[in-house]
Amino acid sequence: MLSLAQWLADYYLQPLGEVVFQCLPGYLRGARSHVSTRVKCWLLATSDVALIDNLRQRSPRQFEICEAMRARQSGLTALDLKKINPNWHAVVKALENKKILRWDWMEAKAGLPRVTGLPQLSPEQDQILGQIEPRLDSFAVHLLDGITGSGKTEVYLRLIQSRLDAGMQVIYLVPEIGLTNQLIERIERRFGSCFAISHSGLTDLQRYRAWDRFRRAEVGIMLGTRSSLFSQCDNLGLIIIDEEHDHSYRQEDGIRYHARDVAIKRAQMLDIPIVLGSATPSLESIKNCARDTYFRYRLDQRPTQFPPPRLELIDVRNSRFEFGCSQRSFERIEQHLAAAGQVLIYLNRRGYAPIVMCHECGWQALCRHCDARLTLHQSVPRLLCHHCGFSQAVPAGCPECGHDEVKHYGIGTEQLEQGLQQRYPQTPILRIDRDVIASREALKSRLQQLQSGEPCILIGTQMIAKGHDYPAITLSIVLDADQALFSASYRASERLVQTLFQVAGRSGRGDRAGEAILQTRFPEHPLMQALLRHSYREIAADLLRERRQFGFPPYARVVMFRADAIKLEDALQKLEQIRARLTSAQDFDALSCVGPMPALMTRRIGRYRAQLCLISEDYRVLRSVLAQAMPALEDLPSSARVGWSIDVDAYEL
């Protein structure tokens, strides 16, 4: 683990101490003492049968305990002993003194799965397992590139089983929202209690306990989100990263790293395999498949009856809308509900309405601390900033010109829910977004309703877009993806395409065919046309060509310097100082340096942000410039007034 921490610190240019902190459970980072979760267990210390038989006459109580231990090789806990003899303590002490008994910490054996009729593998699954299994004993990256619902998870589970059978342990990473009860139950049914879970919904102590059980090999599987990657154990045999394209694997605050990339490094250091899976693999991974340590496998069929639906575009340029839905969408919703299907509506905007403004003078409700609009939330009711949490009362009239009315525009999930509830009073409307899912329990109860298979409408933000498997969903609707077509981010197209394929892939997973529709005002946009005609793989290949042409990642590497300050000039000036130190490095001219310039959303949480970006298609040049400049950079203070940080492989430019 220390070597991995060292590598992470070097690669991401972060302080080693902080990285080591990151690798430990939060619970151990404070000045806390170790809490033992272990259980003492007594075992026979001798195999001398005569010695024990001798006790039968002379000391029946001692003999009784030894007999019980002979019957249970794994040992007896204090509780077990108490059931045999309430005064077991003195008896056990005597046996210990005779060296007939000894005690140890309980180590539950990994790999005692509860197998209950495994599904017959599809020919595709079978073939892939046949190819991966012979390669389990050394480092390789296996990319499972399989359409939504094609049975990737089943492949992971078989691989886990085969590692547990070999006495090894497995780390299984899922995105933050991927860790639903559905998956947990599926794993429990397969592996019994042989796994630990770790995610941000648990307390530090709970996460520590999971970490500790895995470390002591009490469980064979660590199922968790990003930071579970740092789970320690002596016998790691496999790492799995489900939905490897997901953004939650990238840590964006504190130590910045990409869990997928660090996991690949860990696997390489340990010479063990790593399996990445996705229906919409990242462009990085697709490109990496050209390397000889990468293997790519395709799953093109669902084991169930129906393929994932193709997206159908609905041209809404001349449509009449009600709370964001076109008449055509209503028709589809009604038809699917009447056929007892469940409907999923994806709208990646929480709150009631994203724009509040005055019609007379053009005033808009903006955040006092960020370059962002305030969103109207009606349940509160207040105007909220989604970036810093600032909130203020909804003004009765325009604060600028005094006009007696302010209006709101645009649709958020809150308004959609209200509208659908009025239109379909008999149908349960389940909304899932950060405002209503304060706890995992709230999420659980909604997901249980989905599981029941009753017709209902599920609406939500990206929380509902991926990962789940609810067979009764037959219709997926994307209300508004147009904004992403004109985003300033070079990753926007990739992300949009991934989301749309994922949302479409939620439907038609059961015994009825699915349908997926997308409302758009730009049906002629090349990306929309591509969505209609091509598979994700073809679109990804096109996007990769584009990235190569423009010299963007993954064909170039990016190192971003970020600064933030109360005044914009201070942030820019700090980056000027950094730039000056970089320019003195040999080879500096061989890379492109963009900035200093204000960041995309310049003011955020009351601070101005600026950036300086180094880009190079030659990674060695980039590293060499950084290596030369780092000593000088380390002398540059980062203070509360002007802070700065380095972001290696920055996600956004």
In the complex, which residues of this chain contact ligand ADP (CB under 6 A)?
Answer: 119-122, 125, 146, 148-154, 303-304, 469
Among 366, 388, 485, 600, binds Zn ion (CB under 5 A): 388
Tell me, what amino acid is at 313? Answer: L
Q: What residue 143 binds from Zn ion, ligand ADP, none (CB within 5 to 8 A, per partner kind)?
A: none
Stretch that binds Zn ion, among 177-185, 289-297, 363-371, 448-456 (CB under 5 A): 363-371
| Residue of 389, 391, 387, 433 whose CA lies nearest to 600 | 387
User: DSSP letters along 90-113, please?
Assistant: HHHHHHHHTTSEEEEE--PPS---
Please, which residue, 173 or 560, has the CB nearer to ligand ADP?
A: 173
Question: Should residue 384 be labelled a site residue for Zn ion when binding is judged by CB under 5 A?
Answer: no
363 lies in the site for Zn ion, by CB under 5 A: yes
Given ligand ADP, Zn ion, none, residue 360, with its beta carbon under 5 to 8 Å by kind, binds: Zn ion
Q: Which backbone phi and psi does 9 adopt, to 5 degrees? A: -60, -40
Bridge partners (DSSP) of residue 293 are none
Tally the residues of the chain: 653
Cα–chain-centroid distance for residue 307? Answer: 25
CB of 157 to ligand ADP, least distance (A): 8
* Residue whose C-alpha is closest to residue 244's, from 230, 258, 260, 226: 260
By the rule CB under 5 A, 316 interacts with Zn ion: no
- The answer for 601, left when phi > 0, alpha when psi is -120 to 50, beta otherwise, is beta
Supply 212's token pair. Answer: 């500790």
The smaller minimum CB distance to ligand ADP, of residues 303 and 410, is found at 303
Q: How far is the CB of 304 from ligand ADP (least distance, A)?
A: 5
- Judged by CB, which is closer to ligand ADP: 125, or 507? 125
Give the sign of the dihedral formed by CA 357, CA 358, CA 359, CA 364: negative
Q: Exposed e or buried b for every residue in 241-257, given b needs 16+ CB within 10 A?
A: bbbbbbbbbbbeeebbb
Place of tokens 């009711």: 381
Neighbours of 584 (CB within 10 A): 11
122 binds, among Zn ion, ligand ADP, none (CB under 5 to 8 A by kind): ligand ADP
Rounded to the nearest whole angstrom, what is the least distance from the CB of residue 458 to ligand ADP in the complex?
17
Q: Of the two residues 152 and 260, which places its CB atom closer to ligand ADP in the complex?
A: 152
Q: Does 398 bind Zn ion (CB under 5 A)?
A: yes
367 binds, among ligand ADP, Zn ion, none (CB under 5 to 8 A by kind): Zn ion
Q: Which amino acid is at 440?
A: R
- Contact with Zn ion (CB under 5 A) among 166, 361, 580, 594: 361
Q: Which is nearer to ligand ADP, 154 or 515 (CB)?
A: 154
Nearest to 516 by CA among 316, 277, 336: 336
The closest alpha carbon to 381, from 394, 368, 390, belongs to 394
Report what 96 binds from Zn ion, ligand ADP, none; CB cut-off 5-8 Å by kind.
none
Shortest gap between Cβ of 355 and ligand ADP (angstroms)? 37
Based on CB atoms, which residue is closest to ligand ADP, 242 or 414? Answer: 242
Which of the residues 402 through 441 are near Zn ion (CB under 5 A)? 403
Stretch that binds Zn ion, among 133-141, 281-289, 361-369, 556-564 (CB under 5 A): 361-369
What amino acid is encoded at 653 in this protein? L
Q: How far is the CB of 192 from ligand ADP (least distance, A)?
A: 18
Q: Please give the single-letter amino acid code of residue 442.
A: A
387 belongs to the binding site for Zn ion (CB under 5 A): yes
Please report how close the Cβ of residue 406 comes to Zn ion at its closest, in angstroms: 8
Q: Which stretch binds Zn ion (CB under 5 A): 96-104, 188-196, 316-324, 367-375?
A: 367-375
Token pair 């699954």 is at which residue? 125
Q: Please name the amino acid found at residue 69.
A: M
Q: Which is nearer to ligand ADP, 60 or 117 (CB)?
A: 117
Minimum gap (Å) between residue 528 Cβ and Zn ion: 32
The residue within the footprint of Zn ion, chosen from 370, 463, 481, 503 (CB under 5 A), is 370
Residue 398 binding partner per list ligand ADP, Zn ion, none, with a CB distance cut-off of 5 to 8 Å that depends on partner kind: Zn ion
Partner whose binding site includes residue 154, from Zn ion, ligand ADP, none (CB under 5 to 8 Å by kind) = ligand ADP
| Neighbouring residues of 409: CB distance < 8 A, sequence distance ≥ 6 | 353, 354, 355, 356, 357
* Rounded Cα–Cα distance for residues 366 and 356 (Å): 9
Which residue from 76, 187, 365, 367 is in contact with Zn ion, where contact means CB under 5 A? 367
- 475, 308 Cβ separation under 8 angstroms: no
Q: What is the closest distance, in whole angstroms, from the C-beta atom of residue 608 to Zn ion in the complex? A: 13
Strands (E) in 386-488, as ranges, are 391-392, 407-409, 429-432, 457-460, 473-478
- For residue 473, give Cα distances in angstroms to 323, 344, 457, 575: 22, 7, 9, 51
Q: Which is nearer to ligand ADP, 57 or 120 (CB)?
A: 120
Please list the helix, strand and coil fractions of the chain in percent, rounded to the nearest 5, in that order: 40, 20, 40
Q: How far is the CB of 118 from ligand ADP (least distance, A)?
A: 8
d(CA 40, CA 75): 9
Query: Which chain residues interact with Zn ion by CB under 5 A?
Result: 358, 360-361, 363, 367, 369-370, 385, 387-388, 390, 398, 400-401, 403
